[in-house]
Structure 1
Amino acid sequence: MKKNIFIGMFIGLIANAIGLILTATLIGNGDDFSTVIKAASEEGFLGKLISLGAILNLITFFIFIKKKQDYRARGVLLITVFIAVFTFAFKMF
C-alpha cells in the first residue's frame, strides 16, 4: 500500500516537472527553459507557471482511477495538494 502511494507521488512529481517544461516551452516563445523560469520569477508569475504544470497530474490521476490503482491515484493527489500549498506559500512570501 505505502509503496503504491510513493510510486504515485513520484509519478506525480515527474508529471508536474514535464508539465512545467511543456508550459515554459509554450509560453516562452522560443527562449530556453532557464530563461523562462528566471523571467517568471522576476515578474512574479512563477507560481502560476508551476500550477499550470500540474495539469498533467490531473491526467495521471484519472488514468490511475480508471485502472483501479487507487493508492497510486492517492499519491498523485497528495503531491498535487503539496504543490498547491507550496504555490500558495510561494506567492505569500
Structure 2
Amino acid sequence: MTKDIFIGIFVGLIANAIGLFITANLLGNGDDFTKVIKAAAEEGFLGKLISLGAVLNLIAFFIFIKKRQDYRARGVLLITVFIAVFTFVFKLF
C-alpha cells in the first residue's frame, strides 16, 4: 500500500516535470529551457507555468484509476494537491 502511494508520487513528479518541460518549450518561442524558467520567474508567471505542467498528472491519475490501482492514483493526487498549494504560496510571496 505505502509502496504504491510512493510510486504514484514519483509518477506524478515525473509527469509534472515532463509537462513543465513541454509547456516551457511550447511557450518559450524556441529559447533554452532554463532561460524560459528564469524569464517566467522574473515576470511573475512561473506558478502558472508549473500549473500547466501538472496537466499530465491528470492523464496519469486516470490511467491508474482505469487499471484499478487506487493507491497509485492517490499518490498522483497527493502530489497534484501539493503542487497546487506550492504554486498558491509561491504566488503570494
Length-normalised TM-score, structure 2 = 1.00
The aligned runs of 1:54-93 (5 Å cut-off) are: 54-93=54-93
Instruction: Describe the SS at the equivalent of 2:74.
Output: helix
One-letter amino acid matched to 2:6: F
One-letter amino acid matched to 1:78: L
Residue identity over aligned pairs, in percent, reads: 83
Q: Which runs of 5+ in 1 are unaligned?
A: none
Instruction: Describe the SS at the equivalent of 1:29.
Output: coil
CA distance in 2, matches of 1:58, 1:71: 15
One-letter amino acid matched to 1:47: G
Question: Does 2:33 align with 1:47?
Answer: no
CA distance in 1, matches of 2:7, 2:52: 22
CA distance in 2, matches of 1:58, 1:76: 8
Q: Which runs of 5+ in 2 are unaligned?
A: none
Query: Residue by residue, what CA displacement relative to the aligned partner does 1:4-51 show, whole Å, maximum 9, x if unpaired?
Result: 000000000000000000000000010010000000000000000000
- What's the counterpart of residue 9 of structure 2? 9
Query: Residue by residue, what CA displacement relative to the aligned partner does 1:69-92 show, whole Å, maximum 9, x if unpaired?
Result: 000000000000000000000000
Question: Does 2:33 align with 1:33?
Answer: yes
Length-normalised TM-score, structure 1 = 1.00
Aligned residues: 93
CA distance in 1, matches of 2:9, 2:76: 5
